[in-house]
Amino acid sequence: MDPKADWSCHLCTFINSNPLGLACEVCTAERIVESRTPAGSEPVPNLKRKISCEDDASASKRISATASSSTAPSASTSLAVKSTTTLAYPNGALKLTAIAPFPSCPKSVSFMRIMEPRTLKKVFLASFQFDLPWIASHVPPHIPICIALHSSTPTPTRTQNNIQLVFPAVGARNSIFHIKMGVLYRQDSVRVFIGSANLVDYDWNALENIVFVQDFPKKMGTATAGVVEDDGNPSDTGFKNDVVGLLKEMGAATWVWEGLDAFDFRACKARLVVSKPGKYSGADIKRYGLGRLSAVAKEIAPNLSTLPNSDVSMMYTTSSLGSLSAKFLLDFEASACGRLNETIPAASLEPKIRVVYPTKDTVQKSYMGINGGGTITWNSSLWAACQHKSLLFDCISKRKGALSHCKILLAKEINNEGSNEGIYYCGSHNMTLSAWGKLGVIGKSKEPRLEIANWEVGVVFSANEKLDGEGVVIPFETENMRKHGEGSLSAHGVWQG
């Protein structure tokens, strides 16, 4: 150990400035001190890190693959060579995390399957909670990596070698960076995934989370092999432009969003819904939170905006709750129907949305027991103040014993012959004002203003969309749904009382 030299972490390659440090400042991996080989003896062979890839069809099968060193593709690579790469998710797919105690099923996916590290060239990841050593075990060494993380205080971007850590600015004291997403570059495609799972082992292997994932092929005529012929039609889509805009706002490295121009996004049916800390008025309301949800809902299912609440079936599963005031619930219903600020509900109108949230009984009966509910939260004082407990329904997973951390909205019209429009959302937004925003007015002008605390992201598409040949995923029981009881049956008292 040289007491004067910087040293590189063997796991994440970060250059540590403390020469006497025994653990990496970024990923906390233990420092490996190389011993000197005496003259005339055989050198110790280099150990290559192995990455274990899990086959989702059988949780017991594991394949070890040595991750070789690679760099970002060069712009000078040869053009117009047809690729033989088969995309795993060419039309998009909704998947549930592959929970360890449960048999794998076609709808489940492991984080290793999402990452597929052997073919990765560049990686962007974002998460509220994170475990850097765990992340590093799913990424080949030395490729460009950019990770967006939560920091409660202003933190400058940190860059060392191939790794860049960015910390998007948060606002008020309780504001958080809550986005969960990834952009994964390969030789001939890019994969985008967005969901409810943090970048920690617990969220991917213990809790039930949902993830939207889609692969986009490289266009012909761009650097390296292409898989899509250029037919002259624009391949930029609303989704691609939304993703680029979000990456820029988060402060991601230029290569993260600039490289997306080389890929074809025309097969994507999803639209992005983003929340960003701030106060918005005028046309800006439609860019974020409730305003963005309303604009996308009207675009995808215009019929909903013409219907009264009684003709729309709406339910939202969430892992965290806040103030469920009548105004917030009615504003949310209006947004999900595409008519925020267009139709002001009468004061006597009662919200009808079903809020799906686990009871204490469900948490206790989950395979992890009461200790598994650490991220299922509702402040006891807000629960006590809630005047709409009749809207609360128990969240019981179809995988009996699993505990849900999903955030899912389903809104569909009913009692309308010949039409069945609706929207489906999944992502990081909980059913809270912090996530979706508080709608109010500005002073005497009474101009609408939307105030948002958190960074969030999710995807919205038609409730009738067939992704990967299947309909939307609703992982909890919807038949004979059980209403919350009072007092001890409410999940709030377990963790936040």
Tell me the mean pLDDT in the region 176-192.
Answer: 97
Q: Residue 368 has what pLDDT?
A: 87
The predicted-structure confidence for 202-242, as pLDDT tens digits, reads as follows 999 999 999 999 999 999 765 444 444 444 455 567 999 99
Binding residues for substrate: 180, 407
CATH of domain 273-495: 3.30.870.10
* Closest to 300 in 3D by CA, of 412, 408, 430: 412
Tell me the mean pLDDT in the region 322-337.
Answer: 93
Give 284-333 as a DSSP string.
GGGGSHHHHHHHHHHHH-GGGGGS-GGGEEEEEE-SEE----HHHHHHHH
> Residue 367: is it exposed, middle or buried by C-beta count within 10 angstroms (0-12/13-18/19+)?
middle
Superfamily (CATH H level) for 79-268: Endonuclease Chain A (3.30.870.10)
Q: Residue 69 has what pLDDT?
A: 31
Report the relative pairing of strands 278-281 and 189-195 from DSSP bridges. unpaired
The predicted-structure confidence for 19-38, as pLDDT tens digits, reads as follows 656 566 655 566 665 433 33
Domain with CATH 3.30.870.10 in the chain: 79-268, 273-495
Q: Is the pLDDT of residue 18 over 90?
A: no
Q: What are phi and psi of 424, to 5 degrees?
A: -130, 135
Tell me the mean pLDDT in the region 472-497.
Answer: 67
Position 306 confidence tier, pLDDT thresholds 50, 70, 90? confident
Helix (H) or strand (E) holding 148: strand 145-149
Tell me the mean pLDDT in the region 31-54.
Answer: 37
The predicted-structure confidence for 411-455, as pLDDT tens digits, reads as follows 999 876 667 899 999 999 999 999 999 999 888 888 899 999 999
> Residue 45: is it exposed, middle or buried by C-beta count within 10 angstroms (0-12/13-18/19+)?
exposed
The predicted-structure confidence for 239-295, as pLDDT tens digits, reads as follows 999 999 999 999 999 999 999 999 999 999 999 999 999 999 999 999 999 999 999
Q: Residue 480 has what pLDDT?
A: 86
Q: Which residues are catalytic?
A: 178, 405
The predicted-structure confidence for 404-413, as pLDDT tens digits, reads as follows 999 999 999 9
As a whole number of angstroms, the distance between CA 162 and CA 146 comes to 8
Q: Is the pLDDT of residue 98 over 70?
A: yes
Q: Residue 13 has what pLDDT?
A: 61
Q: Residue 370 has what pLDDT?
A: 87
Binding residues: 180, 407
H helix and E strand count, the chain? 11, 25
